[in-house]
C-alpha cells in the first residue's frame, strides 16, 4: 500500500484519507476516487489529495477485518457487517464468553495494522452484546500479515457458552435473632441470580443452623433431584469443620474447596454430593452486588467445570470493590487518637456476666499486673482515644463499679444479665448517645488487647466505600472486639441468647472489612480457670 499525497490527475483508485470539502463538493474519508471524482476535484481547484493506493497482494480494510473476525469467532458468536475497517463479534445467547488470551495476544503482536479487542475471559454476556471487535488501522493489510494472522489463530479464540436451564434448590439455615425479612430478602436475591443465568429455583427449604438439621434438609433437597444445591448459612463459614460443611459431609458430600481469592466472596465453600454441585454462599451473597458467588454460579450455569484450581486462579482481577487509587485502611496514619479522626466512635464494654465457666471468682475482678482485668480493658480503650465508653454491669455490679471508680466511663445496669450476653448488648447499645456513628463491642476479659489494635480497627471504618463492620483477625481467624456502624444497632438489639450478634457478620458479609494482626491478642479471652492459668504462665505473672 502506498500512502501519501497524490496529484489529482493520478488519483484514480486512491482511498481518501480525510474528508474533503471544497466549493460545495464533499467527499468522505474512505471514499475511493474514480474518474468522476477526479473531474469534480479539478473543477474545484484541488491540486492533490492525501490517501492510500492499494498494491497487488493488499487486502482492503473491510475484507481484512471480516477475515480476521471469522478466524476469531467460535460457537455462540455472529459477525456484524465489516465497515470502515471494523467488524464486531456479537453473542448469540446469554452466557459466558471464553477467550483464548494467548492466541489473541499473539495475533495482536504480529503487526500494528491489525487489532483485536475482547471482553475479559469468563465475562457474563447477553444475547446481541458485542464481545469482541476487530479493527484494521490502515486502509489495507499486506498479504504476508494476513497469513501470519491466520497462523496465529488456527482455531476460534472467542466463544460463548450459553447458560443452561438448571434446576436449583436453596436451603436457608437459621439462628435465633435472624429476622424473617433477612431470609425473605436472601431468597428473593438468590432467585433473581438464578434466573439471570437461565436457571430455576425449584424449592426453598429452611432449617436450624445445626449440623443434624442441615444434613436432614440437604437430604430432603436431594430427594427432589436438583441439578445444583445452594446453601445460605446463617453464620459465615469459619472452617471446613463448621456447621454447614460438616452437614454436607454427613450427607455423603465432599468439600472441594473452602474460600476464594475474590473480595467480596472470600468465604464461599464449593462441594459436591454425587453429581450435584453444592455451593455454600458467602455472606455477601445476601446483597445483589457482584461478588465471587456470581462468578462460580455463572460457570456452573454455562456447563463449565469449576475446580479448586479454577477458584484459586480468580485472584487476579478478584478485588471487586476498592480501586487502586484508594489507599488501604492500614496505610492511613494510626497514631493519632480517635477523637481527632473518628470523633463519634464509641465503645460498649460487656461486663455483666457471671463467669460461670471460671468455676467461682469473677474473672473481671482477677488481677493482671496488679490491676483488675476489667480496669485493664477499659484503660486500653481510653488509651485508644475513645471518649464515649458505656460499661454494662450486672453480676457483682457494686464490685465492678468500685474497680472502675474514677474512670471516664458511663455505667448502665442490665437487670436481665442472667439471660445471656445478648441482653447486655441491647442495654449497652441503647445507652449510646445519638452522635455515635459506630460502636466497638468489647469483651471485658481480653488482657492482651492494646490501644493500637483498636486504632487500626477504627481506621478501617469508612462509610463512603461500605466498610461498616470491622473484624480483627489473626492467621485468618476472626476475633474480638468488633466494630459496628450505627445502622446495625437496631438489628443487633433484636438478637437473643448468649451468642451476641456475630451471625450478623455473615448476614452482612459484603459490608465487612477485616484487619489482620500478627499477634494473638484479638483471639485471647479468659473464660476458664485453665485458660487463666495458661495465660499467667505464658506472661510470667506472679500476682
Domain boundary assignment for the chain:
2-53, 59-162, 167-312, 332-529
What phi, psi does 158 have (nearest 5°)? -130, 120
How far apart are the C-alpha atoms of 171 and 209, rounded to whole Å? 11
How far apart are the C-alpha atoms of 365 and 355, rounded to whole Å? 10
CA neighbor of 347 nearest in space, from 483, 489, 522, 486:
483
Residue 353: its pLDDT value, please?
87
Q: Are 221 and 207 in contact (CB under 8 A)?
A: no
Task: Say which CATH topology domain 59-162 has.
Answer: Aldehyde Oxidoreductase; domain 3 (3.90.1170)
Residue 327: its pLDDT value, please?
36
Q: What angle do CA 139, 75, 290 make, to 5 degrees?
A: 95
Dihedral angle of Cα 315, 317, 320, 322, to the nearest 10 degrees: 100
Residue 330: its pLDDT value, please?
34
Residue 337: its pLDDT value, please?
42
- What average pLDDT values come out for the chain (543 residues) when binned by 10 residues? 91 90 88 92 91 89 96 96 91 96 97 96 92 94 94 96 97 91 93 96 97 98 98 93 97 97 95 98 90 96 96 93 39 39 79 81 85 92 93 93 92 91 92 91 91 92 82 90 93 78 79 88 83 76 57
Residues 6+ apart with CB under 8 A from 331: none
Residue 540: its pLDDT value, please?
65
In CATH, the architecture of 332-529 is Alpha-Beta Complex (3.90)
Residue 543: its pLDDT value, please?
52
User: Which residue's C-alpha cell is 436475591?
Assistant: 189
Longest dimension (CA), the chain: 111
Residue 421: its pLDDT value, please?
87
DSSP-derived 3-state class of residue 49: strand
Q: Are 399 and 365 in contact (CB under 8 A)?
A: yes
CB atoms within 10 A of CB 14: 26
How far apart are the C-alpha atoms of 268 and 452, rounded to whole Å? 31
Residue 335: its pLDDT value, please?
38
CA neighbor of 443 nearest in space, from 380, 347, 349, 367:
349
Residue 390: its pLDDT value, please?
96
Superfamily designation of domain 2-53: Molybdopterin biosynthesis moea protein, domain 2 (3.90.105.10)
Question: What CATH class has 167-312?
Answer: alpha beta
Amino acid at each position: 500500500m502506498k500512502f501519501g499525497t497524490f496529484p489529482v490527475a493520478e488519483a484514480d483508485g486512491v482511498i481518501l484519507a480525510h474528508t474533503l470539502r471544497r466549493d460545495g463538493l464533499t467527499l468522505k474519508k474512505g471514499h475511493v476516487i474514480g474518474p468522476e471524482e477526479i473531474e469534480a476535484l479539478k473543477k474545484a481547484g484541488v491540486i492533490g489529495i492525501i490517501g492510500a493506493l492499494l498494491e497487488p497482494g493488499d487486502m482492503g480494510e473491510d475484507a481484512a477485518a471480516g477475515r480476521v473476525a471469522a478466524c476469531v469467532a467460535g460457537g455462540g458468536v455472529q459477525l456484524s457487517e465489516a465497515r470502515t475497517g471494523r467488524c464486531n463479534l456479537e453473542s448469540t445467547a446469554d452466557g459466558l464468553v471464553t477467550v483464548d488470551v494467548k492466541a489473541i495476544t499473539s495475533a495482536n503482536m504480529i503487526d500494528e495494522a491489525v487489532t483485536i479487542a475482547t471482553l475479559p475471559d469468563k465475562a457474563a454476556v447477553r444475547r446481541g452484546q458485542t464481545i469482541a471487535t476487530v479493527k484494521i488501522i490502515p486502509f489495507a493489510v499486506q498479504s504476508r500479515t494476513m497469513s501470519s494472522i491466520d497462523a496465529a489463530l488456527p482455531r476460534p479464540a472467542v466463544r460463548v457458552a450459553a447458560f443452561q436451564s438448571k434446576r436449583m434448590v436453596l436451603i436457608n439455615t437459621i439462628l435465633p435473632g435472624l429476622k424473617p425479612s433477612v431470609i425473605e430478602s436472601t431468597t428473593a436475591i438468590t432467585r433473581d441470580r438464578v434466573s439471570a443465568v437461565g436457571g430455576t429455583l425449584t424449592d426453598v427449604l429452611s432449617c436450624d443452623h445445626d449440623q443434624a438439621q442441615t444434613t436432614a434438609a440437604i437430604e430432603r433437597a436431594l430427594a427432589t433431584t436438583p441439578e445444583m444445591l445452594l446453601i445460605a448459612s446463617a453464620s459465615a463459614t469459619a472452617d471446613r469443620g463448621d456447621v454447614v460443611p460438616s452437614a454436607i459431609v454427613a450427607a455423603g458430600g465432599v468439600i472441594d474447596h473452602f474460600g476464594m481469592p475474590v473480595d467480596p466472596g472470600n468465604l464461599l465453600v464449593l462441594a459436591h454430593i454425587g453429581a450435584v454441585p453444592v455451593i455454600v454462599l458467602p455472606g455477601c451473597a445476601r446483597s445483589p452486588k457482584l461478588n465471587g458467588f456470581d462468578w462460580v454460579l455463572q460457570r456452573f450455569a454455562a456447563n463449565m467445570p469449576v475446580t479448586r484450581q479454577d477458584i484459586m486462579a480468580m485472584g487476579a482481577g478478584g478485588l471487586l470493590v476498592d480501586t487502586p487509587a484508594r489507599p488501604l485502611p492500614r496505610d492511613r496514619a494510626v497514631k493519632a487518637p480517635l477523637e481527632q479522626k473518628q470523633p463519634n466512635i464509641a465503645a460498649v464494654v460487656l461486663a455483666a456476666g457471671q463467669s460461670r465457666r471460671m468455676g467461682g471468682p469473677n474473672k473481671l475482678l482477677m488481677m493482671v499486673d496488679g490491676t483488675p482485668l476489667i480496669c485493664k480493658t477499659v484503660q486500653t480503650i481510653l488509651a485508644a482515644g475513645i471518649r464515649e465508653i458505656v460499661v454494662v454491669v450486672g453480676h457483682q455490679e457494686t464490685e465492678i463499679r468500685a474497680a472502675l471508680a474514677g474512670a471516664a466511663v458511663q455505667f448502665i445496669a442490665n437487670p436481665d444479665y442472667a439471660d445471656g450476653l445478648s441482653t447486655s448488648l441491647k442495654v449497652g447499645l441503647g445507652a449510646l448517645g445519638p452522635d455515635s456513628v459506630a460502636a466497638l463491642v468489647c469483651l471485658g476479659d481480653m488482657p492482651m488487647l492494646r490501644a493500637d489494635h483498636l486504632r487500626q480497627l477504627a481506621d478501617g471504618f469508612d462509610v463512603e466505600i461500605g466498610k461498616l463492620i470491622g473484624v480483627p483477625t489473626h492467621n485468618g481467624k476472626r476475633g474480638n472486639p468488633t466494630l459496628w456502624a450505627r445502622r446495625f444497632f437496631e438489628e443487633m438489639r433484636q438478637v437473643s441468647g448468649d451468642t451476641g450478634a456475630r451471625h450478623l457478620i455473615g448476614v452482612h458479609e459484603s459490608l465487612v472489612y477485616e484487619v489482620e494482626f500478627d499477634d494473638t491478642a484479638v483471639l485471647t479471652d479468659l473464660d476458664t480457670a485453665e485458660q487463666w492459668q495458661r495465660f499467667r504462665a505464658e506472661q510470667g505473672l506472679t500476682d
